[in-house]
Amino acid sequence: MSAKLDRLCQNLRDVLGERVVDITVDRSEVTLVVSAADYLTAATTLRDHADLCFEQLMDLCGVDYAAFGEVAFSETARATPRFAAVSQLLSLTHNWRLRLRVFAPDDSFPVVASVADVWNGANWFEREAFDLYGIMFDGHNDLRRILTDYGFVGHPFRKDFPIFGHVEMRYDPAQQRVVYQPVTIEPREVTPRILREENYGKADGRG
């Protein structure tokens, strides 16, 4: 690990103190996890503190961990929360990056604070995460759907939403208008999703 990343981790621990739930460094990238309760104050500190100075929010996205490490989505209970909002921060002053992850505590109604007031650029990213994953951003002033169609039902990027969707659209000559109906295409998967054991194919493993 380079000295610069060391310094960033140290600064994060010094400045944020108890608000740090976890810091990991993997492949020269630092990931900081904070709790949903501390999210907004941590974000403000990350932006304003002279030792951190993350002036820019590059990206914010929702993640659904429901099928992580599994072949397909299943209803089994998980130990960790299902939804997370992950943002990529950039500091131009120090020229370093940080990934900030916050898990939404409640799986059935995921809510995290909005950081659109801290970084105005987060506005549309949060609308997108709401649209695609159904994560509510508390304090967002304009949480409308953004990418899906007007009147769309459901959150399409959730792992339990089928890739073909639920409805399809066609022109009905009898009613002389466009109608929605349940999908008629058969679901198919050309290449199945395959997960191997950790030491698969190695000299000491099997296979």
Interface with other proteins (CB under 8 A): 26-27, 29, 31, 55-59, 61, 63-64, 67-69, 71, 86, 88, 92, 95, 97, 99, 119-124, 145-149, 156-157, 163, 189, 191, 193-196, 198
Q: Quote the least distance from Cβ 169 to other proteins, whole Å.
A: 14
Nearer to other proteins, 15 or 58 (CB): 58
In eight-state DSSP terms, residue 91 is E
Of 174 and 195, which has the nearer Cβ to other proteins? Answer: 195
For 163-194, b/e burial (b = at least 16 CB within 10 A) is eeeeeeeeeeeeeeeeeeeeeeeeeeeeeeee
Strand partners, 30: 25
Smaller CB separation from other proteins, 70 or 106? 70
Tallying the residues shown for the chain, one arrives at 207
- The β-bridge relationship of strands 111-113 and 96-103 is unpaired
Q: How far is the CB of 91 from other proteins (least distance, A)?
A: 11
Give the nearest distance from C-beta 105 to other proteins in angstroms.
20
Residue 116 Cβ vs other proteins, minimum distance, rounded to whole Å: 10
Characterize the bridge pairing of strands 136-138 and 111-113: parallel
